[in-house]
Amino acid sequence: MPTAIDLPPHVRDWIGDGLFQHVPSSVIVIDRELEVVAANSEFVRVFGEATGKHCYEAYKRRDRPCEGCMAIETFEDGEVRINDTRGIDKNGQPAHYVVHIVPVHNEEGKITHVIEMSYDVTESRFLQRRYNLLFERVPCYVAVIDRDYRVVRANELVRNTFGDSAGGHCYTMLKQSNERCADCPAMKTFADGGSYTSRQLGINKQGELTAYVVSTAPLSSSGRDFEHVIEMAVDVTESEQLSERLLREAQFRRRLTESAIDALVACEASGTINIFNPAAEQLFEVDALQVTGRKQIAEFLPDEFVRTVAAGGSSLQMPEAAVVNTKGETLPVRLSGTVLKEGDHVLGAAAFLQDLREVKRLEREKLDSERLAAVGSTVAQLAHGIKNILTGLEGGMYVIRSGIKKGSAERTNKGWDMLERNVQRITVLVRGFLSFSKGHTPKAVPSDPSRIAQDVIELYRDAAREAGVELIYEAERGIAQIDVDPEDIKTCLENLVSNAIDACQASNKEDQTVTVRVRERGSTVVYEVSDNGVGMDSEIKNKVFTTFFTTKGMGGTGLGLLVTRKIVQEHGGRVEMESVPEKGSVFRIELPRQRLPAPANQKRDVGRDSAEGEHSHGQTGG
Amino acid sequence: MVKPEDKTVLVVDDEEDVRDYLATVLEDSGFSVVTAADGAEALERVESAIPDFISLDLVMPNRSGMKFLHDLRRKQEWRDIPVVVVTAHAHDDLGKADFVEIFSGKQLAGPSFYLEKPVNPDQYVGLICEKLGVQIEGKPDESDTGRLRSQLHDLIDQMESTQLSQLLRMLKLLG
């Protein structure tokens, strides 16, 4: 290549002046005082007028020389220098430029001037920084490899995950392997310049398996004549683990719902059923395929649950609910429902239904056998107790005969009285027998529990007043109707109230009270009759429920409490008693709603009515 | 020869009719009779005058026959009074436990025999006479009512509870 010296003079002249002005870079000439002697048009365009200013003023708006000024060094040693530095352009914007500092010697070889030629790299440096940042900080693995499969560059995430081993083979760095991978996508890219994607399993620096999906691309815009391939990979370890776990959990849940004994019906917020497990299929006798996604929960579940879901409630427990299956049968179930919510937003709802048919059947059987046992033992006791009356009858006959023999009218009359009393006792007994007769089940009708108690209170108001006993009535408000035989329950209360009044009269207290209470505790209707009368010692307490036991001499038959207990047992309930001698007694009739007999719709038969008519009045307590 | 007039029998029963009946039976046979309606009253009677014989009901309010027996056993001079237990409850829940205890043989002294209600008056008097070594002049009662009674007695003992309830139903219809 020819030097400028060999050029024709006019070209050399142009270079001297024309080139200075037209070269596409900023050029200034400074003297030893660092003062700008000349500046070309490009320099003026970028940094503004400079001639007469100090270079540091022109480049950087400084008022003194820069530290480590390269121009000063060049003035001293005549070396050409290149400086990568920043200044401020004429608009006050930061400018990044590269300056070539070249000395100019005079004939004596002394450096008189320095020429600074600079080109602006602001834009390219900015881009470079941006791409570098992108390369380093992008949240995926990025590496550049050469044709030897050596890592030329790897970004921060690669270094942090797999360790910094630039210069090593990519398979060593990513997989701790000594051989190239069989399905290497980079190899394909090197072969044809295309882009390839594959899923790879690597080993991170902690020795854990790391799954990633990698894409390769040639590092050249044309896809030809390239020496490097860039690999970009996304870590899928966590999402793969997550989806695997989800899959397992979904399977577990599916198995759980499918093998559950309880029916599970779940719906979306719209009420459309989306889960209907095999137990639900069995309960409702319908195929899940005909239900899920097609039907509304309102078709299967109780209104109360549907309303709870619609109202955005949280959960619902219904120990005694009823559903209707596809055959129109009403089935007893225990329902436990949950509304699934995100904040206040209802996502859906699920209900577990326990089929109570078997439980109900067992309960009924138990109740029946209890009733039978009560009837059986009572009949046996009654039969046995007849002996007492027979003794009375025989006694009466004997005394009459004795009176006749001896001509004693007094004795004859006494015997007659004995006969009459015992015939009367037989009448009462027969009444008792009728109420105990086999096959008697209470004719339950929906009844107001407080009404029954009020009727009994009315019946005994006068008797209590005459006996000087205060009769108190306390009822909880709003107790719902119960399915009982109201006449039966009245009989029980009459027995208890009559006993309580007697117990008061037997004591010599001043303020004698009998209190009748009605209340409901946890779905159990409770009648309570308490008195502050004589009370009972343990011996009497043990015998009050047995046939013909009476503390009232001839005043009682010993049947009242027995009848009471039998009636209560027939209603699925129980009679409880507490008593303290000299303090008083409490008798409690407890009727759990779920054990009450089913209401009878048919009309009562005549025999039944007459039996009731008799034992509802003239009752005497035990 | 010991005469019934020389012997006093204490009849304890809470049922007035039974008490009167047994007392009449014994009086007719010539015994002196005192009565008590319960165990407590019986104890008072024994305290005021020791009877020769006690006819005792077991199931009574206000101190049962059982308790009364315990009281009797505790005192030397009462311990050997012969006692007959007259009960309707020898085999039911009401009296069975007491009854078994009394006749288990564990008692030092006490009743060694019992009668079940309804009581046959001849048997009753005969038993007491035997225990007391008393002889009564005259012959046993052979009247119509006596026969009727023993027939009824047998019937009741053999009857099923259902038959019994039917019988009582019929009795009621007749009445």
- pLDDT tens by residue, A81-111: 999 888 898 888 888 889 999 999 988 889 9
Q: What is the ipTM of this complex?
A: 0.70
pLDDT over 90 (residue A345): no
pLDDT over 50 (residue A566): yes
The predicted structure's pLDDT at residue B103: 67
Taking CB atoms and an 8 Å cutoff, what residues of chain A touch B35?
none
Which is more confidently placed, A147 or A165?
Answer: A147
- Using 50, 70 and 90 to split pLDDT, how confident is the model at A377? low
Environment class of B23 (CB within 10 Å of its CB; exposed 0-12, middle 13-18, buried 19+): buried
Distance from A313 to chain B by nearest Cα, in Å? 56
Query: What is this structure's pTM?
Result: 0.42
Q: Which residues contact A64 (CB under 8 A, 6 or more apart)?
A: A56
Nearest chain B residue to A390 by CA: give it: B118
Per-chain mean pLDDT for chain A: 84
Q: Which residues contact A109 (CB under 8 A, 6 or more apart)?
A: none
Nearest to A180 by CA among A223, A154, A150: A150
- pLDDT tens by residue, A493-536: 998 998 899 888 888 788 899 999 999 988 899 999 999 988 88
Q: Which residue among B61, B159, B164 places its CB closest to the CB of A540?
A: B61
Distance from A496 to chain B by nearest Cα, in Å? 19
Cβ within 8 Å, pair B92-A414: no
The predicted structure's pLDDT at residue B91: 63
Taking CB atoms and an 8 Å cutoff, what residues of chain A touch B153?
390
Nearest chain B residue to A414 by CA: give it: B20
Tokens standing for residue A106: 């005079």
Q: Which residue among B17, B59, B165 places its CB closest to the CB of A433?
A: B165
pLDDT over 70 (residue A153): yes
pLDDT over 50 (residue A613): no
On the question of a cis peptide bond just before residue B118, with omega within 30 degrees of 0, the verdict is yes
Cβ within 8 Å, pair B145-A401: yes
Cβ within 8 Å, pair A398-B25: yes
Q: Which residue among A394, A422, A434 places its CB closest to the CB of B149?
A: A394
- Using 50, 70 and 90 to split pLDDT, how confident is the model at A610? very low
Q: Of A26-30, A130-134, A226-230, B132-136, which range is least confident? A: B132-136
What gap in Å lies between CA A548 and CA B93, rounded to an integer?
12
Cβ within 8 Å, pair A553-B15: yes
Cβ within 8 Å, pair B17-A395: yes
Cβ within 8 Å, pair A394-B21: yes
pLDDT over 90 (residue A589): yes
Asked if B30 and B9 count as a contact pair (C-beta separation under 8 A), the reply is: no
Q: Of A234-238, A329-333, A448-452, A553-557, which range is least confident? A: A553-557
- pLDDT tens by residue, A475-491: 998 899 999 999 889 98
What gap in Å lies between CA B141 and CA A622, rounded to an integer?
37
Alpha-carbon distances of A138 from A153, A232, A545, rounded to whole Å? 14, 10, 89
Low-confidence ranges of chain B (pLDDT < 50): 108, 139-142
Which of B60, B161, B164, B173 is the best mutation test for A, with the most CBs of A within 10 A? Answer: B161
Taking CB atoms and an 8 Å cutoff, what residues of chain A touch B14?
553
Q: Does A112 touch chain B (CB under 8 A)?
A: no
Distance from A483 to chain B by nearest Cα, in Å? 30
Nearest to A561 by CA among A469, A463, A494: A494
The predicted structure's pLDDT at residue A238: 86
Cβ within 8 Å, pair A549-B59: yes
- Using 50, 70 and 90 to split pLDDT, how confident is the model at A77? very high
Tokens standing for residue A589: 């009739």
- Using 50, 70 and 90 to split pLDDT, how confident is the model at A551? low
Chain A / chain B CB contacts < 8 angstroms: 121
What dihedral do alpha carbons A186, A187, A193, A199 form, nearest 10°? Answer: -40
What gap in Å lies between CA A345 and CA A339, rounded to an integer?
10
Distance from B165 to chain A by nearest Cα, in Å? 7
